[in-house]
Amino acid sequence: MKPKQTLFFFGALALLSFFLNLTWEIAHSPLYNWNQPPLTASAGFYAGRILQSSFFDMVWVVVISGLVLLFFSFKFDWRVCAIIFFALIVFSFGLEWHRVSEGAWYYKSVMPTLKDFGLSFPVGLSPLIQLAITGILSLSIVSGLTRNKNNQG
């Protein structure tokens, strides 16, 4: 990939990933207890926290995807897609388990967790699959845009 193409690819990946993660964060935010510290149910706190989380998620989608793509010479096929998906799930699991364990946030009872499936981990399903889904969706769209742009000129 040429430097200009690489810049376009990762810029588009970051932008799309941020907005997909922002949408996901807003959609699943009712599953968190915003009335239990350290969260606060104020509009300013909520907006800041959602934006911060979306930015952080975007960074990890770009970093993990970028490292895997670099290792596989930027070939985005089913194998690379599966590796990125799995890596994002593993990262999400570790992050969510750590953050819930340290009391960074609390789920409402409506959040499905791995404990609901008989596993001993208090990890929510929505945050567990978020990065993998938004990451692969972002990569697929940007990969298609990059292919189309390369075919045009």
Interval 34-92: pLDDT, tens: 999 999 989 999 999 999 999 999 999 999 999 999 999 888 889 999 999 999 999 99
Q: How confident is the model at residue 3 (pLDDT cuts 50, 70, 90)?
A: confident
104-139 burial, b if ≥16 CB within 10 A, otherwise e?
ebbbeeebebbeeeeeeeebbbbbbbbbbbbbbebb
Q: What is the predicted pLDDT for the residue at 152?
A: 55
3-class DSSP assignment, residue 113: strand
The model carries a pTM of 0.91
State which amino acid sits at residue 62: V
Q: What is the predicted pLDDT for the residue at 150?
A: 56
State which amino acid sits at residue 50: I
The residues spanned by each domain of the chain are: 3-146
* Tokens (6 digits) for 109: 């009872």
- The answer, yes or no, to whether residue 148 has pLDDT greater than 80, is no
Among 124, 121, 105, 102, residue whose Cα is nearest residue 113: 124
